[in-house]
C-alpha cells in the first residue's frame, strides 16, 4: 500500500538537471565479509569501521523496530547503521535526488512503483552474486529461501537487485458480532459484501463498510485485487494492457456500491482513516490493506478488538485472490559498503527477524519459513485469509511509468463514486490510462 | 441600544469567531498531545480525560525530538542573522544612496522571492552537492537566507525611507560620516522594524519544509521534517505528532510574546509615508 501525494515536479527536474553517477563499486575496507555469525541466527560478516546509511520512510511502528534491528546488527558486526527516515510522501524524491547526486545511501527501502525507475537509472547494485555465495549467507539460506513470486519482483533485466519484505494484500474484515446479531451469514463473495453493506448501513449509527477512497495508492491496490479475483490484470508479460473492460466495470461497480455504504467523506479516507473508523465501531466491515488491519485488533486503539473475522476478496466462492503488496530492500550502486549492506538485508529479511517485526507490527515476511512460524500465526489473525488471497495473486506493478497510470485509475474510481462516470465509463478511462501509459 | 453599542457587539462577535477559528485547532492539538490513543480515537471527542505524558516521553526520548528543535534553532538564527547583516545595509543603500536604477534593483531583489521554491530546490541541491555542503547547517542557512533576504531588504527599506532625512543630515553636520549616520541614527530609530523583520525571518525559517527536506541530512533535519515524520504509510501517530507540534510551537510562542511590543509597532512602522 502506499500513501501518495501528487509528486512535485522534482522528478522531472531531476531527470533534466542531473546525470546519474556511475557505480563506484568497492566494498567495506575493513573486516571480513565472510565471517560466520558470532551467535546462531546473527548477521554474517565483520565490518569494523563501516558506516552505513539506510533510507526509509518515517513513522509507523516499523521505524522504531528497525532502529533496534540496526543496533543489533551493529553490535554483532562492528559496523554502524544509521537510519535516514523521512516522511513517506517525500521518500521517493529524497531518494531520487540523493541517488542522482553524490550518493550517501547504502541501503534503500524502495516501493515497487519506483523500483523500475531506480533500476533503469543504474542506481541499484545487483545482488545475484551475494545471494548465490554460500560464504555470504547462513547455512541453508539462498534465493530459494524467499517466496519465488515475491523475490522475482526485485529483478530487472534479468538481474536480481532487491530482496522483499512487508508482504501484504487487501482483505475483507467483518464484525462477527454484528453479523450474528443481524442474522446475516458471514460474507463469502463480494456480492454478499455489497448486499450486507447495504443492509447494515445506518444501523445503530454504523456504516455498512469502510473502504479507502483517497487517491493515495490503496484504491489502486483494491482495484488490483478486484481484477485478480476475476483472473484479470492491468497488463501482461509483454507489458501490453490485458485489462478487460467488462471485468474492470464489474470491479468499479462493486467499489461504488461499497462507497455508498461507507462513512461520509469516503473520498478522503486512506487506509488508516478507514481502519480507525472500523476500529471505533463505525463500520460493520472494512476492506483495506493488511498492515492497516492491525489497528482493529490493537486494544490500545480499538474498541472492537477480538470481534473481527477475516476473509479474502472473491467474486466466486472458492476463488480467493489478492494483489501482492510488498517492499524492496536494495543496495545502492554507489555504496562503498555493499558487503555490509547485503549482510544487513539478508539478516533482516530472514524468517526469524521478520517474525519479530510481525509480532511487533503485524506485517508479513517474504521467506518461506516465516509462514510456518507458530508465534506469527497466533499473532496475525488474518494470516490464513491472507495466505488464501495470495494463492491467486498479481504483484503490485513496478513499471517505471506505472505511477501515472495508477493516479488516473484512482481518479476514475473517484469519479465513479461521485457519479460523474458510470462503471462502464470508468472502465473505459482505465483502459485508456493503461494503454497510454504503457504505449500499448 | 445605541448604534455604537451594535458596533461594539459586532466587533466582539467577529473577534470571537476569529479566535475560535484560530484557537480550536491549537487547543485540539494540545489536548491530543496529553491523550492516550484510546481517548484520541474515541467516537465522541473526550474533553474530560486522564492526561498522560507518554506522548511527550516518546517524542523526547525514543524519537529525540530535541535534536530537531536544536537544528531548527541553529538554522533559523543563522539565517536570520545573515539576512539582517547583509540585508539591512542593502536596504539602507536602496533607501538613501544615489544608486543608479535603484527601483529596478529593488524589484529584481523582490523577484527572487517570487520564484516558486520548487523551482529553486533542485539547482540548489546541485550547487550544494558540488560544494560538498549537502546535509550541513551551512546549506540550510544559505538556502533560507535566499528567501529571507528580500523580506529584510524590502521591509527595512520602507522603514529607512520613512525616517526624516534631516536626522541623518544633522548627524553628518555634527561630524559623523554616512556609515556613522546609518549605524548611530538610522538603525536605532528603526529598531522596532528590525525586530519585526527578524521575527518574520525566524518564523519563515522555522516553518520551512521543502529546502529542509532536500538539503538536510539525518543529523541536521529541522522541526517541520520531524513533525511530518509521524505520518507513516498505514498509520498516523496523532499523539506523537501533537506532542511534537506543541513542542515546535513553544519557542515561536515565547518569541512572539517577547517581541510583541516591537511587532505591533514595527509592522505598522513603515506603513504610512509622510
A81/B contact by beta carbon, under 8 A: no
Q: Which residues pair with A155 in a beta bridge?
A: A160
Residue B224 has pLDDT above 70, yes or no: yes
CB atoms within 10 A of CB A318: 7
Query: Which residue pairs from B133-137 have beta carbons closer than 8 angstroms and sit at least 24 positions apart in sequence?
Result: B134/A101, B134/A102, B134/A104, B134/B215, B134/B217, B135/A104, B135/B215, B135/B216, B135/B217, B135/B218, B135/B219, B135/B220, B136/B217, B136/B220, B137/B71, B137/B74, B137/B75, B137/B78, B137/B220
The verdict on a CB contact (< 8 Å) between A87 and B62 is no
Q: Tell whether the torsion through CA atoms of A6, A218, A227 and A148 is positive or negative.
A: positive
Distance CA A288, CA A274 (A): 8
Residue pair A56/A85 in contact (Cβ under 8 Å)? The answer is: yes
Residue A137 has pLDDT above 80, yes or no: yes
Question: Which of A97, A171, A325, A362 is the best residue to mutate to test the B interface, defined by the most B CB atoms within 10 Å of its own CB?
Answer: A97
- 3-class DSSP string for B121-165: HHHHHHHHHHCCCCCCHHHHHHHHHHHHHHHHHHHHHHHHHHCCH
Q: What tens digit of pLDDT does each residue of A166-199 get?
A: 999 999 999 999 999 999 999 999 999 999 999 9
Question: Which of B211, B235, B239, B244 is the best residue to mutate to test the A interface, defined by the most A CB atoms within 10 Å of its own CB?
Answer: B235
Among A436, A19, A403, CA closest to A216: A403
Rounded to two decimals, what is the model's pTM? 0.79
Q: Tell whether the torsion through CA atoms of A204, A208, A210 and A213 is positive or negative.
A: negative
| A276: three-class secondary structure by DSSP | helix
Distance CA B234, CA A5 (A): 14
Distance CA B226, CA A90 (A): 13
What integer best gives the mean pLDDT of chain A? 89
One domain for residues A261 and A372: no
Residue A372 has pLDDT above 90, yes or no: no
Enumerate the residues of chain B whose CB falls inside 8 A of the CB of residue A62: 232
A304/B contact by beta carbon, under 8 A: no
Q: In terms of CA atoms, which chain B residue is nearest residue A86?
A: B229
Q: What tens digit of pLDDT does each residue of A277-311 get?
A: 999 999 999 999 998 998 898 888 899 999 999 99
Percent of chain A predicted with pLDDT > 90: 68
* CA A8 from centre of chain: 22
| Pairing outcome for strands A322-331 and A393-395 | parallel
Distance CA B70, CA B65 (A): 9
Per-residue pLDDT, A135: 93
- Closest-CA distance, B234 to chain A, in angstroms, reads 5
One domain for residues A370 and A259: no
The verdict on a CB contact (< 8 Å) between A300 and B38 is yes
Q: What tens digit of pLDDT does each residue of B28-49 get?
A: 999 999 998 878 877 677 778 8
- Closest-CA distance, B134 to chain A, in angstroms, reads 9
Enumerate the residues of chain B whose CB falls inside 8 A of the CB of residue A93: 214
Enumerate the residues of chain B whose CB falls inside 8 A of the CB of residue A281: 43
The verdict on a CB contact (< 8 Å) between B213 and A94 is yes
The verdict on a CB contact (< 8 Å) between A279 and B233 is no
Position A14 in a domain = no
Per-residue pLDDT, A212: 97
Going by pLDDT thresholds of 50, 70 and 90, the confidence category of residue A30 is: low
Q: Which residues pair with A394 in a beta bridge?
A: A323
The verdict on a CB contact (< 8 Å) between B42 and A303 is yes
Going by pLDDT thresholds of 50, 70 and 90, the confidence category of residue B266 is: low
Q: Which of A62, A64, A300 lies nearest to residue B62, judging by beta carbons?
A: A64
The verdict on a CB contact (< 8 Å) between B214 and A97 is yes
Distance CA A311, CA A58 (A): 30
A89/B contact by beta carbon, under 8 A: yes
One domain for residues A110 and A235: no
Domain with A134, as residue range(s), is: 21-167+325-389
A26/B contact by beta carbon, under 8 A: no
Residue pair A283/A262 in contact (Cβ under 8 Å)? The answer is: yes
Distance CA B161, CA B270 (A): 8
Indicate if ipTM > 0.90.
Answer: no
Torsion of CA A280, A284, A287, A293, to 10 degrees: 40
Distance CA B251, CA B249 (A): 6
Here the CATH number for the domain that contains residue A407 is 3.40.190.10
Q: How many helices (H) and strands (E) does chain B have?
A: 15, 0
Going by pLDDT thresholds of 50, 70 and 90, the confidence category of residue A64 is: confident
Among A250, A256, A288, CA closest to A272: A288
HSE-CB for A106 with a 13 A CA cutoff: 23
The size of chain B, in residues, is: 274
Position A8 in a domain = no
DSSP one-letter code for B271 = T
Enumerate the residues of chain B whose CB falls inside 8 A of the CB of residue A221: none
Position A16 in a domain = no
B64-269: CATH number: 1.10.3720.10
Please state the rounded mean pLDDT for residues B143-171.
93
Q: Which of B62, B129, B232 lies nearest to residue A59, judging by beta carbons?
A: B232
Q: Could you tell me which residues of chain B have a Cβ less than 8 Å from any Cβ in chain A?
A: 36-38, 41-43, 62-63, 118-119, 121-123, 125-126, 129, 132, 134-135, 213-214, 217-218, 221, 225, 228-237
A400/B contact by beta carbon, under 8 A: no
One domain for residues A146 and A239: no
Q: Which residues pair with A107 in a beta bridge?
A: A54, A331
Q: Which of B38, B229, B237 lies nearest to residue A85, judging by beta carbons?
A: B229
The verdict on a CB contact (< 8 Å) between B122 and A18 is yes
Per-residue pLDDT, B233: 78
Residue pair A105/A85 in contact (Cβ under 8 Å)? The answer is: no
One domain for residues A378 and A276: no
Q: Which of B63, B129, B225 lies nearest to residue A101, judging by beta carbons?
A: B129
One domain for residues A197 and A210: yes
One domain for residues A433 and A406: yes
Residue pair A123/A20 in contact (Cβ under 8 Å)? The answer is: yes
The verdict on a CB contact (< 8 Å) between B229 and A83 is no
A271/B contact by beta carbon, under 8 A: yes
Q: How many CB pairs under 8 A join A and B?
A: 113
Residue A242 has pLDDT above 60, yes or no: yes
Distance CA B103, CA B246 (A): 42
Per-residue pLDDT, A149: 85
A86/B contact by beta carbon, under 8 A: yes
Encode burial over B129-147: b for 16+ CB neighbours within 10 A, e otherwise.
beeebbbbbbbbbbbbbbb
Please state the rounded mean pLDDT for residues A96-122.
89
Position A200 in a domain = yes
Residue A23 has pLDDT above 50, yes or no: no
One domain for residues A256 and A335: no
Per-residue pLDDT, B43: 66
- Closest-CA distance, A97 to chain B, in angstroms, reads 8
Please state the rounded mean pLDDT for residues A87-101.
88
- Closest-CA distance, A156 to chain B, in angstroms, reads 25
Residue A14 has pLDDT above 70, yes or no: no
Distance CA A433, CA A277 (A): 32
One domain for residues A384 and A414: no
Distance CA B162, CA B185 (A): 13
Q: What tens digit of pLDDT does each residue of B106-151 get?
A: 999 988 888 888 899 989 999 998 899 999 999 999 999 999 999 9
The verdict on a CB contact (< 8 Å) between B118 and A9 is yes
A315 Cβ contact list (under 8 Å, min separation 6):
A189, A190, A191, A226, A229, A230, A250
Q: What tens digit of pLDDT does each residue of A381-427 get?
A: 898 899 899 889 999 988 878 888 999 999 999 999 999 999 999 99
One domain for residues A27 and A125: yes
Helix ranges (H only) for A190-323 are 190-200, 218-228, 245-260, 271-279, 290-297
Among B75, B54, B56, CA closest to B65: B56
Q: Which of A14, A83, A289 lies nearest to residue B122, judging by beta carbons?
A: A14
One domain for residues A422 and A342: no
Distance CA B17, CA A40 (A): 65
Number of domains making up chain A: 2
Amino acid at each position: 500500500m502506499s500513501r501518495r501525494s501528487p509528486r512535485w515536479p522534482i522528478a522531472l527536474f531531476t531527470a533534466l538537471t542531473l546525470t546519474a553517477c556511475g557505480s563506484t563499486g568497492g566494498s567495506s575496507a575493513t573486516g571480513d565479509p565472510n565471517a560466520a555469525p558470532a551467535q546462531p541466527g546473527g548477521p554474517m560478516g565483520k565490518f569494523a569501521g563501516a558506516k552505513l546509511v539506510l533510507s526509509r520512510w518515517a513513522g509507523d511502528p516499523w521505524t522504531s523496530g528497525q532502529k533496534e534491528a540496526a543496533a543489533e546488527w551493529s553490535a554483532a558486526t562492528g559496523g554502524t547503521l544509521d537510519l535516514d527516515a523521512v516522511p513517506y510522501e517525500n521518500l521517493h524524491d529524497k531518494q531520487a535526488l540523493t541517488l542522482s547526486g553524490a550518493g550517501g545511501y547504502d541501503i534503500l527501502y524502495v516501493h515497487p512503483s519506483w523500483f523500475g525507475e531506480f533500476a533503469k537509472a543504474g542506481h541499484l547494485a545487483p545482488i545475484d552474486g551475494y545471494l548465490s555465495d554460500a560464504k555470504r549467507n547462513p547455512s541453508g539460506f539462498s534465493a530459494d529461501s524467499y517466496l519465488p513470486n515475491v523475490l522475482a519482483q526485485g529483478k530487472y533485466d534479468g538481474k536480481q537487485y532487491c530482496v522483499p519484505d512487508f508482504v501484504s494484500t487487501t482483505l475483507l474484515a467483518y464484525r462477527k458480532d454484528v453479523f450474528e446479531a443481524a442474522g446475516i451469514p458471514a460474507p463469502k463473495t463480494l456480492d454478499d459484501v455489497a448486499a450486507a453493506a447495504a443492509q447494515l448501513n445506518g444501523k445503530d449509527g454504523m456504516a455498512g463498510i469502510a473502504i479507502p477512497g483517497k487517491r493515495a495508492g490503496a484504491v489502486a491496490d483494491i482495484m488490483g485485487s478486484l481484477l485478480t479475483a476475476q483472473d484479470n490484470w492491468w497488463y501482461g508479460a509483454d507489458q501490453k494492457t490485458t485489462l478487460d473492460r467488462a471485468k474492470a466495470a464489474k470491479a468499479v461497480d462493486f467499489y461504488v456500491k461499497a462507497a455508498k455504504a461507507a462513512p461520509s467523506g469516503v473520498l478522503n479516507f486512506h487506509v488508516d482513516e478507514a481502519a480507525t473508523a472500523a476500529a471505533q465501531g463505525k463500520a460493520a466491515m472494512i476492506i483495506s490493506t493488511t498492515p492497516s488491519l492491525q489497528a482493529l485488533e490493537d486494544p490500545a486503539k480499538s474498541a472492537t478488538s477480538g470481534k473481527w473475522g477475516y476473509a479474502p476478496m472473491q467474486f466466486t466462492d472458492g476463488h480467493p485472490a489478492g494483489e501482492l503488496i510488498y517492499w524492496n530492500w536494495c543496495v545502492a550502486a554507489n555504496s562503498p559498503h555493499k558487503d555490509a549492506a547485503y549482510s544487513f538485508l539478508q539478516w533482516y529479511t530472514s524468517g526469524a527477524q521478520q517474525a519479530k517485526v510481525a509480532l511487533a507490527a503485524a506485517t508479513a515476511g517474504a521467506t518461506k519459513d516465516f509462514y510456518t512460524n507458530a508465534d506469527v500465526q497466533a499473532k496475525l489473525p488474518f494470516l490464513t485469509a491472507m495466505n488464501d488471497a495470495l494463492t491467486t495473486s498479481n504483484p503490485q506493478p513496478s513499471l517505471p511509468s506505472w505511477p501515472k497510470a495508477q493516479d488516473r485509475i484512482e481518479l476514475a474510481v473517484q469519479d465513479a463514486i461521485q457519479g460523474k462516470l458510470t462503471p462502464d465509463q470508468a472502465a473505459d478511462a482505465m483502459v485508456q490510462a493503461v494503454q497510454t501509459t504503457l504505449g500499448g | 441600544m445605541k448604534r455604537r453599542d451594535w458596533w461594539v457587539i459586532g466587533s466582539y462577535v467577529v473577534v470571537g469567531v476569529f479566535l475560535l477559528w484560530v484557537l480550536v485547532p491549537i487547543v485540539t492539538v494540545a489536548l491530543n498531545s496529553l491523550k492516550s490513543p484510546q481517548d484520541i480515537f474515541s467516537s465522541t471527542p473526550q474533553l474530560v480525560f486522564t492526561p498522560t505524558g507518554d506522548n511527550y516521553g516518546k517524542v523526547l526520548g525514543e524519537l529525540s525530538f530535541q535534536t530537531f528543535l536544536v537544528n531548527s534553532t541553529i538554522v533559523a538564527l543563522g539565517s536570520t542573522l545573515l539576512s539582517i547583516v547583509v540585508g539591512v545595509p542593502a536596504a539602507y543603500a536602496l533607501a538613501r544612496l544615489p544608486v543608479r536604477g535603484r527601483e529596478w534593483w529593488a524589484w529584481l531583489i523582490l523577484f527572487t522571492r517570487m520564484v516558486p521554491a520548487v523551482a529553486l530546490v533542485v539547482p540548489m541541491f546541485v550547487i550544494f552537492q558540488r560544494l560538498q555542503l549537502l546535509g550541513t547547517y551551512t546549506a540550510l542557512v544559505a538556502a533560507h537566507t535566499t528567501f529571507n533576504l528580500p523580506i529584510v531588504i524590502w521591509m527595512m527599506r520602507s522603514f529607512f525611507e520613512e525616517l526624516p532625512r534631516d536626522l541623518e543630515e544633522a548627524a553628518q553636520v555634527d561630524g559623523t560620516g554616512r556609515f556613522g549616520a546609518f549605524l548611530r541614527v538610522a538603525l536605532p530609530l528603526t529598531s522596532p522594524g528590525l525586530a519585526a523583520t527578524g521575527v518574520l525571518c525566524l518564523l519563515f525559517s522555522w516553518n520551512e519544509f521543502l529546502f529542509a527536506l532536500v538539503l538536510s541530512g539525518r543529523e541536521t533535519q529541522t522541526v517541520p521534517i520531524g513533525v511530518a515524520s509521524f505520518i507513516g504509510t498505514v498509520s498516523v501517530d496523532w499523539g506523537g505528532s501533537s506532542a511534537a507540534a506543541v513542542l515546535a510551537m513553544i519557542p515561536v510562542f515565547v518569541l512572539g510574546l517577547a517581541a510583541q511590543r516591537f511587532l505591533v509597532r514595527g509592522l505598522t512602522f513603515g506603513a504610512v509615508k509622510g
